[in-house]
């Protein structure tokens, strides 16, 4: 009883053992999730006990003012926020304070691992996330698909991943599979995918998800080019309506559409590579608005595009960034402007020098609008390019353009995305049938 009482007095104590022969009491931070203490057979009078915790212990104190956890053994006062928070070496799992985990233990939370031991929740090739040391820069970790490039049409595999998107609101990874047509999603800290749409697809290209969880999915081939829209609680719809697109480049359809982004007002921006244009569709409209490019005509000047693919919308600065693939450059267009693009990366011909690209396909811009990450597909690398710089730097893949399947190499990366904290870079590694994650430094 004395040992139990001593454990209860200490907020960090979860387990205790008592040896009745030596009258020795030991207190432990670990609980049943991080290990166990078993009474020794040679010590029949030893006892082991643990503090029993449940959400009921926290429902009236967590995140409330410090007066609610005064004298509490469950939470402590955080001096920065003046609220009741989990004690050291524990984390909040949306119900109670759980003991942080050690090396190799399975985790499902960004705060689940012992940060004091430099551990964080990392993806593994065994399709779990486990507590381990963070990788060094340039070392990729597979977050979707098999690490060795194997293919599988089930929940574990991706096949020809092309367009990707990481939601800034909840961190969910969305993947367009081109080779075995389907759109998938992967929850944070899960290596198991869920299929969003597969029936009737032909050539999935890109996917975008807005703050209301509306999912926009482009198919390059179906109906000459179409956008599927999945809204929560509603049947799948298509845009434009079936039969509207045709083989001519016009503003009434989405002929061979690839990229898609959507603004907070619901305006849809679509890239039409074979029409060399970016078109904006206002909600419920029947005719698009030309945003960039010369519809039906390629070119190399600031008002033209040549095979535009994926895009990134910086709505805070009214800027649309376009991977102008066959011009080997990234163009920036001001929304509502006159359609004149500004080259912010590349534009120095095709090549593998640090001021060049070879078919850039994907682009992502940091929240401050100052740094671009670009999928340099033919060079099998991802480039980081700061606004105003005359050249970029390689952050993933081979600097010299070598393709490969190791954790340092890529093979025709198609698209890029950053996680909500801008800690990790996600890359669709097309020919390796996987999505890789790289730590940014």
CA-to-CA distance for 351 and 329, rounded, in angstroms?
11
pLDDT in tens, 356-366: 999 999 999 99
- At 32 the pLDDT is 64
CA-to-CA distance for 381 and 378, rounded, in angstroms?
8
Which of the listed residues 52, 75, 91 is the one where a domain comes to its end?
52
Would you say residue 98 lies in a domain? no
Let me know whether 156 and 302 are in one domain: yes
Which of the listed residues 52, 72, 94 is the one where a domain comes to its end?
52
CA-to-CA distance for 181 and 269, rounded, in angstroms?
22
Q: Which tokens sit at 184? A: 């998938």
Let me know whether 160 and 289 are in one domain: yes
- At 39 the pLDDT is 61
Per the CB < 8 A criterion, the answer to whether 426 and 439 are in contact is no
Residue 42 domain boundaries: 2-52
Would you say residue 257 lies in a domain? yes
Cβ within 8 Å of residue 52, ≥6 positions away = none
* Neighbouring C-beta atoms of residue 400, cutoff 10 Å: 10
- At 286 the pLDDT is 85
CA-to-CA distance for 133 and 110, rounded, in angstroms?
13
- Beta sheet of 371-376, edge-to-edge order: 360-365, 371-376, 381-386, 393-397
- Show the 3-state SS of the chain: CHHHHHHHHCCCCCEEEEECCCCEEEEECCCCCCCCCCCCCCCCCEEEEECCCCHHHCCCCCCCEHHHHCCCCCCEEECCCCEEECCCCEEECCCCEEECECCCCECCCCCCECHHHCEEEEECCCCCEEEEECCCCCCCEEEEECCCCCCCCCCCCCCCEEEEEECCCCCCEEEEECCCCEEEEECCCCCCCEEEECCCCCCEEEEEECCCCCEEEEECCHHHCEEEEECCCCCCEEECCCCCCCCCCCCCCCCCCCCEEECCCCCEEEEEHHHCEEEEECCCCCCCEEEEEECCECCCCCCCCCCEEEEEEEHHHCEEEEEEHHHCEEEEEECCCCCCCEEEEECCCECCCCCCECCEEEEEECCCCCEEEEEEHHHCEEEEEECCCCCCEEEEECCCCCCCCCCCCCCCEEEEEECCCCCEEEEEEHHHCEEEEEECC
Let me know whether 35 and 150 are in one domain: no
Q: Which tokens sit at 50? A: 């643990």
Would you say residue 103 lies in a domain? no
> Can you give the pTM of this predicted structure?
0.93
- At 245 the pLDDT is 55
pLDDT in tens, 208-240: 999 999 999 999 998 888 999 999 999 999 887
Would you say residue 33 lies in a domain? yes
- At 36 the pLDDT is 61
Per the CB < 8 A criterion, the answer to whether 36 and 19 are in contact is no
Let me know whether 48 and 147 are in one domain: no
Would you say residue 166 lies in a domain? yes
CATH number at residue 298: 2.120.10.30
Let me know whether 183 and 35 are in one domain: no
Between the two ends of the chain, the Cα-to-Cα distance in Å is 51
Would you say residue 163 lies in a domain? yes
Let me know whether 38 and 177 are in one domain: no
Let me know whether 312 and 415 are in one domain: yes
- At 2 the pLDDT is 83
Per the CB < 8 A criterion, the answer to whether 409 and 394 are in contact is no
As for how many domains the chain has, the answer is 2
Would you say residue 155 lies in a domain? yes
Residues of the chain with pLDDT under 50: none
Dihedrals φ, ψ of 61, to 5°? -125, -35
Would you say residue 108 lies in a domain? no
Q: Which tokens sit at 252? A: 């009434």
**Beta bridge partners of residue 350, listed in sequence order:** 357
């Amino acid at each position: 009883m004395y040992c139990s009482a001593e454990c209860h007095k200490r907020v960090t104590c979860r387990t205790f053992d008592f040896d009745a022969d030596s009258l020795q009491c030991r207190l432990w931070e670990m609980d049943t999730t991080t290990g166990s203490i078993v009474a020794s057979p040679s010590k029949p009078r030893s006892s082991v006990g643990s503090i029993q915790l449940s959400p009921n212990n926290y429902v009236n104190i967590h995140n409330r003012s410090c007066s609610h956890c005064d004298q509490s053994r469950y939470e402590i006062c955080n001096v920065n926020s003046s609220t009741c928070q989990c004690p050291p070496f524990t984390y909040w799992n949306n119900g109670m304070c759980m003991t942080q985990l050690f090396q190799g233990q399975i985790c499902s939370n960004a705060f689940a691992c012992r940060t004091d031991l430099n551990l964080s929740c990392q993806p593994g090739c065994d399709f779990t996330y486990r507590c381990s040391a963070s990788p060094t820069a340039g070392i990729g970790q597979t977050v979707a698909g098999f690490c060795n490039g194997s293919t599988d049409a089930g929940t574990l595999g991706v096949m020809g991943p092309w367009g990707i998107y990481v939601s800034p609101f909840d961190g969910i990874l969305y993947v367009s599979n081109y080779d075995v047509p389907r759109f998938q999603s992967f929850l944070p800290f899960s290596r198991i995918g869920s299929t969003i749409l597969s029936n009737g697809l032909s050539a999935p290209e890109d996917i975008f998800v807005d703050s209301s969880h509306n999912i926009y999915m482009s198919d390059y081939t179906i109906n000459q080019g179409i956008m599927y829209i999945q809204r929560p609680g509603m049947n799948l719809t298509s845009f434009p309506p079936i039969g509207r697109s045709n083989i001519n480049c016009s503003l009434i359809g989405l002929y061979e559409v690839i990229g898609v982004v959507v603004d907070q007002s619901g305006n849809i921006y679509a890239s039409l590579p074979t029409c060399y244009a970016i078109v904006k569709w206002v909600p419920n409209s029947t005719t698009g608005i030309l945003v960039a490019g010369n519809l039906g005509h390629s070119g190399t000047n600031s008002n033209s595009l040549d095979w535009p693919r994926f895009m990134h919308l910086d709505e805070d600065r009214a800027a649309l960034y376009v991977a102008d693939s066959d011009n080997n450059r990234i163009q920036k267009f001001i929304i509502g402007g006159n359609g004149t693009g500004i080259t912010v990366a590349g534009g120095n011909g095709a090549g593998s020098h640090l001021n060049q690209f070879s078919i850039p396909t994907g682009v992502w811009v940091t929240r401050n609008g100052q740094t671009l990450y670009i999928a340099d597909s033919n060079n099998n690398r991802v480039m980081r390019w700061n606004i105003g710089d005359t050249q970029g730097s390689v952050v993933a893949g081979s600097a010299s353009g070598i393709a490969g399947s190791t954790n340092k190499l890529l093979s025709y990366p198609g698209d890029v995305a950053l996680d909500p904290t801008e800690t990790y870079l996600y890359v669709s590694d097309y020919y390796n049938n996987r999505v890789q994650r790289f730590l940014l430094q």
